[in-house]
Amino acid sequence: MSVLPARRRAALLVALVAAWVAGSALGATQPARRASAAPLFQLEPAHAEYVPVLDGTKPIYVLIIGSDARPDQAVESQRADSIHILSINPAEHRAAIVGIPRDSYVEIPGVGQNKINTALFYGGPDLVVQTVEQLTDLKMDYWAMTGFASFEQMVDDVDGLVVDVPFAMNDEASRAFFDPGVQRLDGDNALAFARNRHDLPAGDFGRSENQGRLMVAALAQLKKEFNKDPARMLIWAASFARNGTTTLALDEVLDLAFTGTAVNANKVENVVFPGGTAMVGGLSVVTLNQETLQKISKDLADDGLLRKANVPPSPNEPLLGG
């Protein structure tokens, strides 16, 4: 065993002490902390939110079909009493609704010229989709359908729809008896509102616009209820899933519902393809104004939205006072 000379022993001791001091200093360093004054005041109310809305630039087109199936009938094999294109621009959080009059005389693939509402009878919702795609050149992403009973139940499941009834209605056939103004309609009354055409000056055109009005009301109400209680989203999604027939998976229903909560319902354009009536082979049919149809369809195709310049006059204009 060798003995270190005195100078080396001293050097080793100094090194040891230095090492200990250095190690202590490193170890004792406080972790970095965000530099800021310590606030001793209470926090202001704060809000954090994440809603997984769709934000793609591609428009989403959903064909909404109302079957005239009575409670004991299959919704897929009757006629389509109401047909609407719901067009959503996720990126801009905006939407448009375009109604297609049920008696529109159009080419139905594989069937020939007939009223568009018969497409449902001949080939179910898929044939209605094909017919509308051929008519408008718009590719539908999804379809959703209800019948009379399921529509009523859907409305009742969300505790009714708050609708601004635009004018008085007094129609025995549909049992639509309403004063104008904002009111909550239960399923029975919402169906009456949606079916009334006898006391509307433009008949089915005006009715189609009112059906779109219910959709806008639903959108506004979903948004309002979601903002107040986000869990209401489940009630709406479940109501739709239980009572509707659709190609939308539950994930997609929720995605669209979340996206719907971001849409400003007041800015939704609700229009109906205009046209006139004619008799074809003893049938009273609607002949659509081809120029307006093309204009609206092309406008929807680029971004899913409808410019003011392409919005046709409301078929209920005489009742709306201008």
Partner 1 sequence: MTPNRVQRGSSKKRRVPLALLIVPVVLVAIGVAILLALRGGEGGGIIGGGDEPPPPFDFIVKPATAVPTAPDADEAALSASAERVAHEITPIIDDLYTNAYLDPSNWRHDDYEEVFTAFAPDAAATAEQSLETLTLGATAGDVFDTVDPGKSKLSYQVLFDPDGEPHTAVVSVIFRATAERKNGTYLAIVSEGEFFLGQIDGWRITAFDVKREDHETHPPSPSASTSASPSA
Does residue number 33 form part of the binding site for partner 1 (CB under 8 A)? yes
Considering only 1, 3, 47, 308, the residue that binds partner 1 (CB under 8 A) is 47
Complex with partner 1: residue 61 or 258, whichever CB lies closer:
258
Residue 7 touching partner 1 (CB under 8 A): no
CB within 8 Å of 244: residues ≥ 6 apart:
144, 145, 146, 150, 154
CA distance 177 to 135: 35
Check: CB of residue 298 under 8 Å from CB of residue 116: no
Q: Is 42 in the site for partner 1 (CB under 8 A)?
A: yes
Which residues, at least 6 apart from 166, have a Cβ–Cβ distance to it below 8 Å? Answer: 180, 210, 213, 316, 319, 320
Stretch that binds partner 1, among 94-102, 158-166, 223-231, 309-317 (CB under 8 A): 223-231
Residue 71 is a binding residue for partner 1 (CB under 8 A)? no
**Contact (Cβ atoms closer than 8 angstroms) between residue 180 and residue 166:** yes
Query: Residue 33 or 308: which CB sits closer to partner 1?
Result: 33
Helix, strand, or coil (residue 260):
helix
CA distances (Å), 35 to each of 38, 39, 76, 231, 243, in order?
A: 9, 12, 66, 39, 57
**Single-letter code of the amino acid located at 210:** N
Q: Does position 56 bind partner 1 by CB under 8 A?
A: no
Q: Give the number of residues in contact with partner 1, rule: CB under 8 A.
A: 47
Q: Does 313 bind partner 1 (CB under 8 A)?
A: no
Residue numbers at the binding site for partner 1 (CB under 8 A): 4, 8, 11-12, 15-16, 18-20, 22-24, 26-28, 31, 33-34, 36, 38-40, 42-43, 45-52, 229-231, 233-235, 237-238, 241-243, 250-251, 254, 258
